[in-house]
Structure 1
């Protein structure tokens, strides 16, 4: 279980100190103390990880909606406005392909606005002494709201292959095929996959993004060329492996292997003659 927010949330920004929370079933609801009057002890602020949260904030006349992953945490988003309401749902209750990996701002469309009003209505619906059946109904409604918002968001941003895994697989195979072209970069990769750069980076939530992956492929190819033909000029190695020049290749070797290309070649020459 992961603590989300308590009656006085230490993990949230100062302006989040006026928040309260309630738990029904496996879902946690966060709202203003003036609206959400029920807290249920420490367990009210805990939810199974990983989780996804639908967070609505308002600052004056400006309303914002975000979907937030447990990998990012809620604290940065809770500070975006003084009027906050949120639904926190364990990912196990959501379709795997719709779960996000970071903080995703939502378009202020009709569904976002409706979900904002429904979330506020949920805050007023949580009352002391409610029955287990009421908890189950509230949980089902909260999960349905988050599912619908995620489904609409992914439908709006999906312009190429349907599944993020499909895009990642295509990206890996395209990079493997094209990385030796010095003109090949993330922009070209995005065009070939028929997605925007932003959408492409969203499909790579891991530390290894598309630009880093291209560099890793080029580095692997350069190292192989050096091992196979120690007499090959480093300028030729750089061109054949897709680097823009020897200096760029050298920087990649030093950053990732801790040696220059020349030192790498010397090391393997010694191994070969030993």
Structure 2
């Protein structure tokens, strides 16, 4: 049984801190840190975009380092999971590792979610509810993937992926054609990467070599982790692309985002990215791209 029906520890700390100050002669600066923590957390604003990036980049890491500027945002979410008894206090460190993934998945299951909705990656509804129920934070920059039954060129994708593909398509004078969409299972050559959302394969047989790399660059510009797969890697030529920050993404595909962040190929070899420097681009995601 979780602590859903009982006041959480951080809320009690906040109330006690306020009572101490109200009693007179005590300032916020003199109240012990054990009490001030709750008040600071209650005023926190969690950037969902950064939390999702960390949730994909952090788990395969060696150690407990944080990603970009996500650490403080992840830490507040972890404090909320601690308050709900899903995460031990010793794991509240700003690193969205496997322990935090498991804790968040268990929290999602406690809300009745199953399958991809309980994959340990925060969705906008569960993340907002966790902050509201604990009183520790509000959410800014929410990510919503939209319908999971949308299509692009006849292949199933979610709405966010569809919009990203359309934006990348608009950068090119040729068309992006999918050979495999998202939410498809049973394809052994995909190793489960397409089981969830945000992942697509793109045909390149009609493109020149330069056009293939330009397509990779266009996809990366709008927020995909994208690579040209080659016969040397054991594939027929195609582009594999993962929408960074997709909340429906399967775990094995999330690990490919980690590889992409660190300049690797997203394959079992974890070799260096084979993309020429001129076509690599900067790490980004859809919502950040739209803000310019």
TM-score w.r.t. the length of structure 2 is 0.25
Q: Whose radius of gyration is greater, 1 or 2?
A: 1
Higher relative contact order (CA 8 A, sep 6+): 2
TM-score w.r.t. the length of structure 1 is 0.26
Bigger fraction of residues in strand: 1
